[in-house]
Amino acid sequence: MTQVQPTKAARTTTGRKPHVPALDGLRGAAILGVLLFHTGHLSGGFLGVDLFFALSGYLITDLLLREIEATGGVALVAFWGRRIRRLLPALATMLGGVTVLVWAVGPPDMVRATLSDGPWVQLNLVNWHLLAESAGYWDRFGPARVFEHLWSIAVEEQFYLVWPVLLLVIARGGRRVDRRVAATAGLASAVSLVLMITFAGSADPSRVYTGTDTRAFSLLLGALVATRPVRAVLARTAGRWAGAVSASLVVGIGAAWLLVDGVNSPWLYTGGLFAHSLAAAVLIGLCAQAPHALVAGILARRPLRWLGLISYSLYLWHWPVFVLLSAQHGWIRTAAACAVSIGLAALSKYLVEDPIRFRATWARGRSGVLAFAVLMVGLAVLWQALPAPAPTTIDITKLG
């Protein structure tokens, strides 16, 4: 759901290609799968989130390793500042706009849920908040919660907070940074898989599907593929067959998206999601190594790439729009809701995200810190200023 651009220093100190158009196409395919899943037209489209996770893990780790190669360390404050400028403006715009709209026109239960969930979205802990409230992703994913889809954004943000610190510690430990990062990512992903298998078995798999600890392997497998040892292995094993291997992975991933569903495919939580994330991570690595192969060429086509470029804002906006427009009721409503979502995402990218990310000098340095503080306080005030409807009460004395 997020996009990462290499730093200027990184571009000049490594031979790796800074930007791979096919990865934008993969991001576009991922958001398309999610859209179709949330409108009830693709049972396994939720696996697009795993593709997003693997892409984020790959791109962030590649960027951090470039920085370590160039400077010997990681500038954590600068890294987090870039992440805030990239992610927060669009998120805050969506949060404020949707909250006010739901408060004005939504039913009481939706308003109460929105005002309850909003602060946890702001803190990037909404996945744990929803689990604490037993808000099942599969059985109770309904119109009462317009921010429930943001569990995945919370997982990514928690990863962005911890992973760079861990890489900084590894970088200070001496040489062979890539090898030690690869070992760390591989071991941590295995631990995450064990946790998923351990916690699986409940009739409602929401805990293992949305928990950060049990989903970390999707991000970590992407991180693993970004390291030099794994890229070298992919280069040796795939070689001139990279196109054929990529095509096979696309067929396998596509079949999974068509055939599985989140409730009646329990094998997903005992290794299936891990296998899918691994396939996605390898596909990402092959597209980066062989950008002129057939699969990478198809993914680099302009419509899919453009969808990938707006995928973050499209992910933010699509579920509130789908809920408010009842997008699950027929193809006409689906098409209308998708069109509205894409329009809002494009406006967000070109009017909010890109200007602040690339051109707003006030968003950097001390003025940036002040702007961040003002925005966070403003959102906190919003949750408190809008009155929540009183819960429905039942007079039990009149029953019977």
pLDDT at 400: 53
Torsion sign (Cα): 348, 351, 354, 359:
negative
pLDDT at 332: 84
pLDDT at 15: 42
Instruction: Give the residue among 287, 300, 60 at the shortest CA–CA distance from 167.
Output: 60
pLDDT at 16: 46
Chain center to CA of 256: 19
pLDDT at 175: 83
pLDDT at 264: 83
pLDDT band at 241 (very low <50, low <70, confident <90, very high): confident
Residue 6 has pLDDT above 50, yes or no: no
pLDDT band at 238 (very low <50, low <70, confident <90, very high): low
Q: Distance between CA atoms of 86 and 195, rounded to whole angstroms?
A: 31
> What average pLDDT does the structure give for the chain?
89
- What SS3 class is residue 390? coil
Instruction: Give the residue among 94, 91, 112 at the shortest CA–CA distance from 103.
Output: 112
Worst-scoring range by mean pLDDT, 1-10, 80-89, 249-258, 278-287?
Answer: 1-10
Instruction: Give the residue among 306, 320, 379 at the shortest CA–CA distance from 349.
Output: 306
Q: Distance between CA atoms of 253 and 43, rounded to whole angstroms?
A: 13
Type of residue found at 29: A
Q: Distance between CA atoms of 356 and 248, rounded to whole angstroms?
A: 40
Secondary structure of 267-315 as H, E, C letters? HHHHCHHHHHHHHHHHHHHHHHHCCCCHHHHHHCCHHHHHHHHCHHHHH
Type of residue found at 173: G
pLDDT > 90 fraction of the chain, expressed in percent and rounded = 75
pLDDT band at 397 (very low <50, low <70, confident <90, very high): low
Q: Which pair of structure tokens corresponds to residue 212?
A: 């950060």
Q: Indicate the burial class of 263 (C-beta count within 10 angstroms; 0-12, 13-18, 19 or more).
A: middle
How do residues 91-142 score in pLDDT, each as one tens digit? Answer: 999 999 999 999 999 999 999 999 999 999 999 999 999 999 877 776 654 4
pLDDT band at 253 (very low <50, low <70, confident <90, very high): very high
Instruction: Give the residue among 51, 4, 22 at the shortest CA–CA distance from 302.
Output: 22
Worst-scoring range by mean pLDDT, 42-51, 139-148, 253-262, 369-378?
Answer: 139-148
Compare 63 and 136 and report the one with higher pLDDT: 63
Give yes or no for a contact between 154 and 213, defined as CB atoms under 8 angstroms apart.
no
Compare 399 and 359 and report the one with higher pLDDT: 359
